[in-house]
Amino acid sequence: MQGLRALAALMVVVHHAQNEAMILAGRTGTDFVPRHGLPWPAGVDIFFVISGFIIVHAAAPLYGRPGARGRFVAHRIARLVPLYWLVTGLYLALGLAAPALLSGEGGPPDAARILASFLFWPMARPDGAVLPLYGLGWTLNYEMAFYALFALGLGFSRRGAVAWLSAALALVVLAGRLLPAPPVPLAFWSDPIVLEFVLGAGLALLRAEGWRLHAPARAALAAAGLFGLAAAPDAPALRLLAWGLPAALLVAAAVLGRDRPEAARGGWAARLLGAAERLGDASYALYLLHPFALRAVREGLLRSGFAVTLGPWPSLVLMVVLTLPAALLVHRLVERSLTRFVRRALEPARPAAASKSAVTPER
């Protein structure tokens, strides 16, 4: 699973790195044509399916328990909010210091937009785009709505919670389609992309009820998922089908297997898997911070003159590669400490026996 999270984050990084390479090529007068072996933005769809799976799977000790909602909300806030607020604050500070950085915002942000961004509330920019101040936060606006709905269902059993979540998200999507002029938040949250959380939740339910696949079947699912993504049309209206379903096949291949045997835990394959797992652990930091790293490397290449020497494609590879140690470093030195601190501050007090059995859902 962690390796798949790493893949999803890298897909998003490659997508934005190609944009940076196009800027670099334009400034150096060289040719650059992006390549689309995979629909790189579909890394977000993989993340959404993974999130649906992990939340339902890791909340096993919470279903129907007293205080479950408070613990769940505390864990989720501690996991997502601190680093996002830090990055959004950094982006805002840079934008105020250099207004040109916010030129794509359709105007300087007002207090309402800044507050909405920090509170994960969808709000339209002056140019009409429904994006938070730090654009990558659009996915977190969906995540937080998903968490809120899921928390309401924690009073049920696992099956009941998944049924509640599926029905609630389906109703939200339907309401957004039936109302003639839905308010901005509902229009945003009713995008069918939210049903990708349901796909992941369904996979968690299958695993909890004992579904397991042999290696050949999982390999076939993974191949079908990759082929489906590669062959999918770039049609936003069909995103759930074109990208969401192949993403669900990839996640199914990752989560419906048996536990790894001891023999698989040694040798070069285990080292490669370990590296992928470490990058998966840092995938949230990689997702949030990679635009800063990509732009910093791009400007360094341009100002040093190496952009002309290397050319766009080697520069793109270098930009992507250098985002990885930056994300790993921030994850280790900043993100983990912030998460622990906020969790201790927010998590409701509970008996020691309960604290030993509690499982913290991770993104």
| Segment 151-164, tens digit of pLDDT | 999 999 999 999 99
Q: Per-residue pLDDT tens for 76-98?
A: 999 999 999 999 999 999 888 87
Stronger pLDDT, 160 or 106, i.e. the higher one? 160
Asked if residue 354 has pLDDT above 50, the reply is no
For residue 268, what pLDDT band results from cuts at 50, 70 and 90?
A: confident
Is 154 in contact with 69 (CB distance < 8 Å)?
A: yes
pLDDT of residue 102: 59
Q: Per-residue pLDDT tens for 270-287?
A: 777 788 888 999 999 999
Token pair recorded at residue 108: 């300087």
CB atoms within 10 A of CB 160: 14
Asked if residue 170 has pLDDT above 80, the reply is yes
Highest mean pLDDT among 26-30, 188-192, 353-357: 188-192
pLDDT of residue 104: 57
How is the chain split into domains, by residue range?
Answer: 2-259+269-347
pLDDT of residue 98: 76
Asked if residue 355 has pLDDT above 50, the reply is no
Whole-number mean pLDDT of the chain? 89
Asked if residue 17 has pLDDT above 90, the reply is yes
pLDDT of residue 107: 59
For residue 356, what pLDDT band results from cuts at 50, 70 and 90?
A: very low
Whole-model pTM: value is 0.91
Phi-psi region of 128 (alpha: psi -120 to 50; beta: other; left: phi over 0): left
For residue 43, what pLDDT band results from cuts at 50, 70 and 90?
A: very high
Single-letter amino acid, residue 340 = R
Asked if residue 15 has pLDDT above 60, the reply is yes
Which residue blocks in the chain are alpha helix, DSSP H?
Answer: 2-28, 43-58, 68-97, 111-118, 138-152, 158-178, 184-189, 195-208, 215-231, 239, 245-255, 267-281, 283-304, 306-310, 312-330, 336-346, 352-357
Is 9 in contact with 43 (CB distance < 8 Å)?
A: yes
Nearest to 74 by CA among 340, 357, 353: 340
For residue 171, what pLDDT band results from cuts at 50, 70 and 90?
A: very high
What share of the chain has pLDDT > 70, as a percent? 90
For residue 295, what pLDDT band results from cuts at 50, 70 and 90?
A: very high
pLDDT of residue 125: 87
